[in-house]
């Protein structure tokens, strides 16, 4: 074989291989999601079960990198939008507003009985957070509100009994007293054990403390026109959170957080309380010797009755450009419906979004060591939306800039009512 023939043969073989791959996956429904390894395994269980029941519909998974929104927009702008997309409460509006997502009423209206059953079994707060411009752009698949994990042994040693229900929340003072009692320092002033650490986004957590002092973060939460950073009650709650690290030293400072992760501190027993969501449960539950439980966020003097958290839900959406809408709907219907939710409940890796799955024995059995399961089961009813705006990217950049200044102690929370609020309000109003 001469060189020219060899090159031609190789090129042809390459083309055939490429064509073979493409045709092999052409009819599969692509499913884009972001997940930690444990979560990915739970998703695979749902996919496997769906494929067992519907062998005529194949699912091909696409895992997201660290910035799912950017990845989704890149795929979709490039004409390769996945058929089924994971949707985040804070991020989906930008996609819905650009016409990337299908209004799922197209399918729900066709099956009114199923839609009514889903509605009765679900939580309005979670469902409505994916309602944009009168449409339903995703169906919730998990509740991801945040709460407080606590080390049971350390709490018992300090004689502290935290609340077990959102409706019977503890006060800021009680929370601070607990954190102080659980913080221990070495002789040179370095913390040996922290009372409280944060495994979420610090300024989101701070905003939740603001919300638990009687004011919502953005008004109205869907398509907001203003941020309530300058509201005295919100600012006081936000400042309380910042002071845990800056003034009271019961939580790691911004600098401390650079060198060690909150999860590591909690897992190793060097932190007594941790703010985070259910996505961390499997990480802590799989750790021998860590005896933990969950409790609710504290309520400020102007807040209550009862504590609130964020909805934090993720849902499943279908791409408007999908050529396989019907098959995609069948998968979304399964994963967000009673069958898929039952699998989620049993897996213990998500908090389901249907009452039937939440109250199932499988869900309780998946959390055998927890005494305070009501923190999960009552969570959706005590959830509030953070903000649903197509300009979230811009708002978040402004928030990070202003809030981090407060969290490192270089300014007070009241200062957020100035330029930061004015800049955010301008961005929000431009989107209305």
With CB under 8 A as the contact rule, the residue among 38, 128, 291, 400 that binds other proteins is 400
Q: Which is nearer to other proteins, 81 or 307 (CB)?
A: 81
Listed ranges 49-57, 205-213, 356-364, 399-407: which one lies at the site for other proteins (CB under 8 A): 399-407
Does residue 201 bind other proteins (CB under 8 A)?
Answer: no
- Contact present, 209 and 196 (Cβ < 8 Å): no
Q: CB 99 → other proteins: shortest distance, Å?
A: 6
d(CA 213, CA 232): 10
Q: What angle do CA 322, 323, 327 make, to 5 degrees?
A: 85
User: 58 burial class (0-12, 13-18, 19+ CB within 10 angstroms)?
Assistant: middle
For other proteins, the binding residues in 256-285 under the rule CB under 8 A are 256, 258-260
Q: Which is nearer to other proteins, 5 or 259 (CB)?
A: 259
- Reference 277, options 32, 31, 39; nearest CA is 39
For other proteins, the binding residues in 311-330 under the rule CB under 8 A are none
The two three-digit tokens of residue 380, written as one number:
């959706």
Does residue 393 bind other proteins (CB under 8 A)?
Answer: yes
Q: CB 74 → other proteins: shortest distance, Å?
A: 8
Task: Spell out, one character per residue from 73 to 112, where the chain touches other proteins: x when CB under 8 A holds, - when not.
Answer: x--xx----------------x---xxx------------
Q: What angle do CA 142, 143, 145 make, to 5 degrees?
A: 150
Q: Which is nearer to other proteins, 96 or 280 (CB)?
A: 96
Residue 355: is the preceding peptide bond cis (ω within 30°)? no
Does residue 223 bind other proteins (CB under 8 A)?
Answer: no
User: 193 burial class (0-12, 13-18, 19+ CB within 10 angstroms)?
Assistant: middle
| Greatest Cα pair distance in the chain | 86
- Reference 374, options 272, 314, 306; nearest CA is 306
**Segments of 225-308 assigned E as strands:** 226-227, 271-277, 292-295
Name every residue whose Cβ is closer than 8 Å to that of residue 382 and which is 6 or more positions away in sequence: 145, 166, 167, 296, 306, 307, 308, 309
- Contact present, 393 and 353 (Cβ < 8 Å): no
Does residue 431 bind other proteins (CB under 8 A)?
Answer: no
The two three-digit tokens of residue 263, written as one number:
């999860």
Q: CB 253 → other proteins: shortest distance, Å?
A: 8
Q: Which is nearer to other proteins, 20 or 66 (CB)?
A: 66
Listed ranges 26-34, 196-204, 249-257, 282-290: which one lies at the site for other proteins (CB under 8 A): 249-257
Does residue 193 bind other proteins (CB under 8 A)?
Answer: no
Task: Spell out, one character per residue from 37 to 76, where the chain touches other proteins: x when CB under 8 A holds, - when not.
Answer: ---------------------------------x--x--x
Does residue 370 bind other proteins (CB under 8 A)?
Answer: no
**Site residue total, other proteins (CB under 8 A):** 23
Q: Which residues pair with 129 in a beta bridge?
A: none
Q: CB 31 → other proteins: shortest distance, Å?
A: 22
Angle between helices 37-53 and 325-336 (to 10 degrees): 110
- List residues near other proteins by CB under 8 A: 70, 73, 76-77, 94, 98-100, 253-256, 258-260, 393-394, 397, 400-401, 404-405, 408
């Amino acid at each position: 074989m001469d060189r020219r023939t060899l090159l031609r043969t190789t090129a042809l073989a390459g083309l055939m291989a490429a064509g073979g791959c493409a045709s092999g996956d052409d009819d599969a429904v692509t499913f884009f999601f972001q997940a930690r390894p444990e979560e990915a395994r739970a998703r695979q269980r749902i996919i496997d079960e769906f494929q067992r029941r519907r062998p005529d519909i194949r699912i091909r998974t696409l895992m997201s990198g660290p910035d799912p929104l950017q990845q989704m927009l890149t795929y979709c702008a490039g004409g390769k939008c996945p058929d089924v997309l994971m949707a985040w409460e804070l991020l989906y509006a930008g996609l819905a507003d650009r016409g990337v997502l299908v209004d799922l009423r197209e399918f729900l209206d066709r099956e009114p009985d199923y839609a009514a059953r889903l509605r009765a079994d679900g939580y309005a707060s979670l469902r409505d957070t994916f309602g944009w411009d009168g449409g339903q752009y995703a169906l919730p698949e998990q509740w991801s509100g945040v709460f407080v994990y606590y080390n049971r042994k350390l709490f018992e040693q300090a004689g502290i009994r935290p609340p077990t229900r959102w409706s019977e929340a503890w006060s800021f003072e009680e929370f601070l007293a607990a954190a102080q009692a659980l913080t221990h320092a070495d002789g040179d002033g370095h913390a040996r054990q922290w009372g409280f650490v944060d495994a979420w986004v610090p300024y989101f957590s701070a905003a939740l403390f603001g919300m638990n002092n009687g004011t919502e973060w953005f008004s109205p939460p869907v398509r907001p026109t203003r941020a309530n950073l300058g509201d005295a009650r919100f600012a006081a709650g936000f400042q309380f959170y910042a002071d845990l690290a800056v003034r009271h030293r019961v939580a790691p400072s911004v600098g401390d957080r650079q060198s060690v992760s909150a999860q590591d501190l909690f897992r190793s027993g060097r932190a007594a309380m941790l703010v985070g969501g259910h996505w961390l449960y499997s990480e802590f539950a799989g750790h021998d010797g860590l005896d933990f439980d969950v409790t609710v966020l504290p309520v400020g003097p102007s807040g209550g009755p009862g504590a609130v958290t964020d909805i934090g839900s993720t849902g499943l959406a279908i791409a408007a450009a999908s050529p396989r809408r019907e098959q995609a709907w069948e998968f979304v219907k399964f994963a967000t419906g009673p069958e898929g939710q039952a699998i989620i409940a049993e897996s213990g890796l998500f908090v389901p979004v249907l009452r039937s799955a939440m109250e199932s024995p499988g869900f309780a059995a998946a959390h055998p060591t927890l005494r305070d399961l009501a923190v999960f089961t009552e969570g959706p009813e005590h959830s509030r939306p953070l903000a649903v705006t197509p300009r979230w990217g811009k708002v978040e950049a402004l928030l990070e800039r202003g809030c981090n200044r407060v969290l490192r102690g270089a300014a007070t929370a009241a200062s957020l009512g100035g330029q930061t609020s004015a800049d955010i309000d301008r961005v929000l109003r431009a989107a209305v």
